[in-house]
Amino acid sequence: MSIQHTNSQGVEESNVQASVTALPPGVTVRGLRASYGRIEVLHGVDLEVPAGSVFALLGPNGAGKSTLLKVLSGRMRPTEGEVRIGDLELGRIPSEKLARQGICAIPEGRGIFPNLSVRENLRIWTYVGDVSMKDVEEQTYATFPVLKQRRRQLAGTMSGGEQQMLAISRALVTKPRLLLLDELSMGLAPLIVAELYELVGQLANQGMTVILVEQFVTTALAVADRAAIMVHGRVEQQGTPEAMAEAAHSIYLA
Ligand X SMILES: Nc1ncnc2c1ncn2[C@@H]1O[C@H](COP(=O)(O)OP(=O)(O)OP(=O)(O)O)[C@@H](O)[C@H]1O
Closer residue to ligand X (CB): 56 or 63: 63
Interaction partner, residue 238 (ligand X, Mg ion, none; CB < 5-8 Å by kind): none
Q: Does 185 bind ligand X (CB under 6 A)?
A: no
Number of Cβ atoms within 10 Å of the Cβ of 160: 14
Residue 174 in the binding site for Mg ion (CB under 5 A)? no
Window 203 to 242, contacts with ligand X (CB under 6 A): none
Q: Which of 55, 64, 66, 208 binds Mg ion (CB under 5 A)?
A: 66
Total residues in contact with ligand X, by rule CB under 6 A: 10
Does residue 38 bind ligand X (CB under 6 A)? no
Mark the segment that binds ligand X (CB under 6 A) among 13-21, 60-68, 130-138, 164-172: 60-68
CB-based contacts of 220-226 (< 8 A; 24+ apart in sequence): 220/56, 220/58, 221/56, 221/245, 222/197, 223/54, 223/56, 223/197, 223/198, 224/53, 224/54, 224/55, 224/56, 225/50, 225/53, 225/54, 225/55, 226/49, 226/50, 226/53, 226/54, 226/55, 226/56
| Contact call for residue 61 and ligand X (CB under 6 A) | yes
Q: Minimum Å distance from CB 86 to ligand X?
A: 24
* Biggest CA-to-CA distance, the chain: 64
Q: How far is the CB of 61 from Mg ion (least distance, A)?
A: 7
Judged by CB under 6 A, does residue 31 bind ligand X?
no
Minimum CB distance to ligand X smaller for 158 or for 217: 217
Stretch of 12-20, 64-72, 157-165, 194-202 lying at the interface with ligand X (CB under 6 A): 64-72
Residues 161, 188: contact at Cβ < 8 Å? yes
137 vs 183, beta carbon nearer Mg ion: 183
Helical (H) or strand (E) element with 105: strand 103-106
Contact 252, 59 (CB under 8 A): yes
Asked if 209 interacts with Mg ion (CB under 5 A), we say: no
Q: Tell me the window of 45-53, 58-66, 168-176, 221-229 that interacts with ligand X (CB under 6 A).
A: 58-66
Q: Write out the residues near ligand X by the rule CB under 6 A.
A: 36, 41, 59, 61-67
